[in-house]
């Protein structure tokens, strides 16, 4: 199916974090389903001017929205070593984060790091290529997430989506990064708590639960208790789907 096959479509170029503003602007009513895909477009990667890809030489940018002030180059050239290590570890799960950060600091003293290939060159001094996966993969992923504040956007989006859904409406979330899926998983688990079980715990230990409003109401049912991953045939047809994770909930 193509977009042209549908009669009622509104295209909004905006941030996930602004969901309620978008709904209000276009006067959506009775929302029975929301499907969100936290992946980014392949077109972004192939555009060397945006600096997302370590396979194409371009400016070290990585902004989805050019209105944003901070670029990947700003982070790489200005942040202290501790910040770089944290970004590479938390967002990229890079096990050589410390050594890469140290090498970046050493190189940026000589001259500013402005291009994707220059950053790749620095990373390859610390990590050697093994197989098909580039040693720069995790660092580039981490910088992209940091530049676009992606994990905070997800945290802001999820409660808005649940609030907007009608009773019986469903929210389906596709994520690709373990940090993204962790946020989704914990949020769904938190608002799917069994109210009766929580009351028992509160009676047993009133001090620990008396001040918690999160357990006052159960908002959703988990449609799939375990994350749904693509089958081998799906990955064969679309290799980029290999890291996709799907979670679905229903508002009650």
Domains in the chain (CATH in brackets) are: 14-39+151-251 (3.40.50.150), 69-147 (1.10.150.170)
- Report residue 9's pLDDT band, with 50, 70 and 90 as the boundaries: confident
CB 105 within 8 A of CB 55: no
Q: What pLDDT, on the 0 to 100 scale, is given for residue 230?
A: 93
CB 91 within 8 A of CB 136: no
Taken in order 43, 44, 47, 52, the sign of the CA dihedral is negative
pLDDT digits (tens, 9 = 90+) for 105-132: 999 999 999 999 999 999 999 998 777 7
Q: What pLDDT, on the 0 to 100 scale, is given for residue 1?
A: 66
Q: Is the pLDDT assigned to residue 226 strictly greater than 60?
A: yes
Q: What pLDDT, on the 0 to 100 scale, is given for residue 214?
A: 47
Q: What pLDDT, on the 0 to 100 scale, is given for residue 196?
A: 46
- Report residue 249's pLDDT band, with 50, 70 and 90 as the boundaries: very high
Helix or strand run (H / E) with residue 32: strand 31-37
Q: Is the pLDDT assigned to residue 137 strictly greater than 60?
A: yes
Q: Is the pLDDT assigned to residue 87 strictly greater than 70?
A: yes
Q: Residue 184: name the closest of 40, 83, 21, 36 by CA.
A: 36
Q: What pLDDT, on the 0 to 100 scale, is given for residue 47?
A: 72
Q: Is the pLDDT assigned to residue 200 strictly greater than 50?
A: no
Residue 194 token pair: 């069994």
Task: Rounding to the nearest 10 degrees, give the CA dihedral for residues 180, 186, 190, 196.
Answer: 150
Q: Is the pLDDT assigned to residue 104 strictly greater than 60?
A: yes
Q: What is the pTM of this model?
A: 0.81
Q: What pLDDT, on the 0 to 100 scale, is given for residue 51?
A: 79
Average pLDDT over residues 153-170: 96
Average pLDDT over residues 167-186: 94
Dist CA 199 CA 56 (whole Å): 56
């Amino acid at each position: 199916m193509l977009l042209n096959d549908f009669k009622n479509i509104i295209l909004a170029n905006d941030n996930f974090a602004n969901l309620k503003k978008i709904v209000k602007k276009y006067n959506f009513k009775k929302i029975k389903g929301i499907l969100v895909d936290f992946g980014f477009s392949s077109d972004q990667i192939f555009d060397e001017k945006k600096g997302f890809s370590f396979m194409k030489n371009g400016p070290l940018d990585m902004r989805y929205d050019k209105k944003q002030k901070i670029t990947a180059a700003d982070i790489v050239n200005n942040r202290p070593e501790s910040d770089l290590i944290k970004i590479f570890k938390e967002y990229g799960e890079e096990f050589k984060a410390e050594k890469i950060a140290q090498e970046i600091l050493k190189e940026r003293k000589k001259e500013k790091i402005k291009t994707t290939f220059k950053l790749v060159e620095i990373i390859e001094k610390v990590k050697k290529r093994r197989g098909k996966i580039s040693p720069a993969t995790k660092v580039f992923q981490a910088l992209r997430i940091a530049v676009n504040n992606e994990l905070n956007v997800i945290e802001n989006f999820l409660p808005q989506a649940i609030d907007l859904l009608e009773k019986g409406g469903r929210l389906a979330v596709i994520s690709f990064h373990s940090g993204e899926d962790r946020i989704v998983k914990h949020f769904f688990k938190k608002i799917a708590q069994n109210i009766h079980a929580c009351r028992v715990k509160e009676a047993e230990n009133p001090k620990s639960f008396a001040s918690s409003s999160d357990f006052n109401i159960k908002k959703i049912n988990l449609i799939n208790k375990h994350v749904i991953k693509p089958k081998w045939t799906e990955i064969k047809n679309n290799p980029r789907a290999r890291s996709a994770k799907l979670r679905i909930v229903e508002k009650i």
